[in-house]
Structure 1
Amino acid sequence: MERYRTYSSYLKELYGEKVYKLPLNIPVTCPNRIDSYGCSFCGGAGTGFEAMDAQVPVREQLRKTKEKISAKYHAGKFIAYFQNYTNTFLPLEQFRNYLQEAAGVEDIVGISVSTRPDCIRKDYLDVLEETARTCNLKITLEYGLQTVNYHTLRQINRGHTLAEYLDAVLMTAPYGFDICTHIILNLPGDTLEDSIETAKILSALPIRSVKLHSLYVPKGSRLYQDFEHGKITLCSKEEYLDRLTAFICYVRSDMVIERLFSRVPKEDAGFSNWGVSWWKLRDLFEQKMEEGGYVQGCKCDYLNGSALGRWRME
């Protein structure tokens, strides 16, 4: 019994077989790194740990990564994943060219673009729609929100608030693209209540999937300096599992859960997953769900005029 809706199951339902994401790295940065040092948890290399060098052409990146995945997993369909930094922070025509290059690779059935909610605009969405239509591909926009707590967003120097995220989602929804949201459940300053409120807000929006991250502290980041000097406190493993369980219980049952924990090279992090492997953490989480009798969405009873239902208004 699946107690939460996994990404692998969703893709299999959609395409009839296993589909794998192929990470891409293109020469782009982030506007937050131009204005300042960026988000406090950014180590400077972004998040493309599994991707090739940004100077390698997109077609070659996809071809080489596809060969490795095909040989290992016997996969036949793939999603080109523009993963690192802010992928819409490019001149429009350059962005279009990268999309077209990825779309032209054999066995690519979808394109996923990771970006910031304050870096999307209608003309970029139009280009994505054009690519989807002319190349018969499914488009996913992945927006990094991290938390709905605007106090925490300011403390981590995120460079945007909840309003920009809401604007991006409402702008994107009419295009029919899948919308994925990135969330970190254990940011310094956040609590269990923030995890629950984040689940509630995402559930009230046209969000298809959520990618959950356990906070890691990259060496060289501003957060690492604070961590080393004892200026921040990170929650315990047990507290994270409590937050994760609560999030899954409160989030809509139809939402796809792409990830539960971060996966980063140990040598790059000053702190990561409490020194426990991600698969062991997953096992502990699934055990907690089973022992509590929980399933995804079991506490999602707050939408669609819930007070009217409670009071049986005629």
Structure 2
Amino acid sequence: MKTHAIIPIFIPHLGCPNDCVFCNQKVITARMSPLGKDDVKDIIERYLPTLSNRGIKIVEVAFYGGSFTGIPIKQQQEYLSVAKWYKDQGLIQKIHLSTRPDYINDEILTNLKQYDTDIIELGVQSFDEEVLRLSNRGHNRESVFRASKMIKDYGFELGLQLMIGLPGDTFEKSIESALETVKINPSIARIYPTIIIQNTELANMHQRGEYAPLTLDEAIKTSKEMYRILKNSGINVIRIGLKSTDIINENGQVIGNTYHPAFRQLVEAEIAKEDLEKQLQEIINSSQNLNKVHQNSTQTNTQNNTQSDTHIKYLPVICFYSNETSLSYMIGNKKSNKLYFEKKYPHFHFTFNVDPSLNNQTYRANIKY
């Protein structure tokens, strides 16, 4: 059951001084009316009735889409005062915002503290100086370390957002960014593959042949390894890949095959496949089990003109287990893992089962004869 809900409030990039190559927010902002206090209130009022009586324990008002702390301080206070009122009434539990590393200082953090802000996410994207420069981020890696330390020192919950596949990026650089993130030790993190959106400099670079996006397989591989690093260090990776609503908010048409609507499931499924295959290999490499597999395989192969159901009856059964939440990851997007194991290991029959005692993203395999 879902116990955490977000009320997203999209703030145009009024405060962002930069033109990152992957972003078209300056174009969008020029077409949008500024958000006022009443607009923020209306958004919250629309969401709250949909969240009642659903067992939700934590509701966050989250200001997304821009460098929140870059907008004029008075405007920040107007937005935050609305969110704080709902928090003071117990109608929401947290206030959440995102911004740039170079838009953090004592004045800004003192103001956010005044309005009882809880979570500050930094759009870091990369810790590699060349990637930051080629992406026209306008800040360096040192500003990330400085801002992260200040946010934690003030007692806020810190989040870091990373992007893979930016200009100049490599698999090794992305892994290094994950390792640098571990050193900072934020509470939460996000991993986003770079999406090419129309009306961006990145789209122009792609058209000129100066930029090639990651393939889907490359993006899955990189995200998977980064996710393992972050998760194993106790960092909660709250998102992998963009939602369709993120694309809508960017108001951009995606170019090429750089977006997949179920990207996190693809990454999680690949992790489940690797974890289960490792256990399966341990089962196969056990001499006792291996002998039984050979015996059963021989018996099956001697059956002439055997129907498929009869064939399965003689195969050793590999039972894979996950909890209910992780079942779709274990089976894979469009049953990709099920098909993978059945094709690669034809001398086994595979079942995918629920074990409620297992933690999320934890998998178990055993064999039955």
TM range (shorter): 0.7 to 0.9
Q: Which residue is equivalent to 2:243?
A: 263
Q: Which residue is equivalent to 1:149?
A: 128
Q: Is 2:165–2:193's contact at 8 Å kept on the other side of the alignment?
A: yes
Sort the Cα spacing of 1:218 and 1:65 in 2 relative to 1 into closer, same or farther, 3 A. farther
Q: Is 2:213–2:258's contact at 8 Å kept on the other side of the alignment?
A: no
Q: 2:105 aligns with which of 85, 107, 121?
A: 121
CA drift at 1:74? 6.7
User: What secondary structure sits across from 2:212 in the alignment?
Assistant: coil
Sort the Cα spacing of 1:128 and 1:21 in 2 relative to 1 into closer, same or farther, 3 A. same
Tell me the distance in 2 between the aligned counterparts of 1:61 and 1:86.
20
Tell me the distance in 1 between the aligned counterparts of 2:257 and 2:56.
29
Matches for 1:231-242 after TM superposition, within 5 Å: 231-242=210-221
Q: Which residue is equivalent to 1:32?
A: 17
CA drift at 1:72? 11
Q: Is 1:22–1:80's contact at 8 Å kept on the other side of the alignment?
A: yes
User: What secondary structure sits across from 1:104 in the alignment?
Assistant: helix
Deviation string for 1:232-268 (max 9, x for gaps)? Answer: 1111111111101111222243101111111244772
Q: Which residue is equivalent to 2:271?
A: 289
CA drift at 1:73? 6.0
Matches for 1:200-239 after TM superposition, within 5 Å: 200-239=179-218
CA drift at 1:91? 3.1
Q: Is 1:143–1:182's contact at 8 Å kept on the other side of the alignment?
A: yes
User: What secondary structure sits across from 1:269 in the alignment?
Assistant: coil
Q: Is 1:89–1:119's contact at 8 Å kept on the other side of the alignment?
A: yes
What amino acid sits opposite 1:166 in the alignment?
F
Tell me the distance in 1 between the aligned counterparts of 2:257 and 2:155.
35
Deviation string for 1:77-106 (max 9, x for gaps)? Answer: 421111121111133343223212111125
Higher Rg of the two aligned structures? 2
Choose between structure 1 and 2 for higher RCO, CA contacts under 8 A separated by at least 6 residues.
1
Q: TM-score, normalised by structure 1?
A: 0.76
CA drift at 1:229? 2.5
Structure in which a larger fraction of residues adopt helix: 2
Q: Which residue is equivalent to 1:104?
A: 85
Q: Is 1:209–1:255's contact at 8 Å kept on the other side of the alignment?
A: yes
Q: Is 1:141–1:180's contact at 8 Å kept on the other side of the alignment?
A: yes
Q: Which residue is equivalent to 2:140?
A: 161
Deviation string for 1:5-38 (max 9, x for gaps)? Answer: xxxxxxx9xxxx71211111346513424xxxx1
In structure 1, the gaps of 5 or more residues are: 1-11, 133-137, 295-314
Q: Which residue is equivalent to 1:183?
A: 162
Deviation string for 1:131-152 (max 9, x for gaps)? Answer: 22xxxxx600010010111101
Q: Is 2:190–2:238's contact at 8 Å kept on the other side of the alignment?
A: yes
Tell me the distance in 2 between the aligned counterparts of 1:159 and 1:28.
15
Q: Which residue is equivalent to 1:247?
A: 226
CA drift at 1:75? 4.3
Q: Which has the larger displacement, 282-291 or 176-185? A: 282-291
Q: Is 2:119–2:159's contact at 8 Å kept on the other side of the alignment?
A: yes
Aligned residues: 265
Q: Which has the larger displacement, 257-266 or 181-190? A: 257-266
Q: Which has the larger displacement, 213-222 or 122-131? A: 122-131
Q: TM-score, normalised by structure 2?
A: 0.65
CA drift at 1:52? 10
User: What secondary structure sits across from 1:270 in the alignment?
Assistant: coil
RMSD after superposition: 2.8
CA drift at 1:124? 1.6
Q: Is 2:62–2:95's contact at 8 Å kept on the other side of the alignment?
A: yes
What amino acid sits opposite 1:285 in the alignment?
V
What amino acid sits opposite 1:30 in the alignment?
G
In structure 2, the gaps of 5 or more residues are: 277-369
Q: Is 2:160–2:190's contact at 8 Å kept on the other side of the alignment?
A: yes
Deviation string for 1:284-311 (max 9, x for gaps)? Answer: 22221122229xxxxxxxxxxxxxxxxx
Q: Which residue is equivalent to 2:352?
A: none
Q: Is 2:165–2:213's contact at 8 Å kept on the other side of the alignment?
A: yes
Sort the Cα spacing of 1:170 and 1:113 in 2 relative to 1 into closer, same or farther, 3 A. same
Q: Which has the larger displacement, 113-122 or 260-269? A: 260-269
Tell me the distance in 1 between the aligned counterparts of 2:28 and 2:157.
21
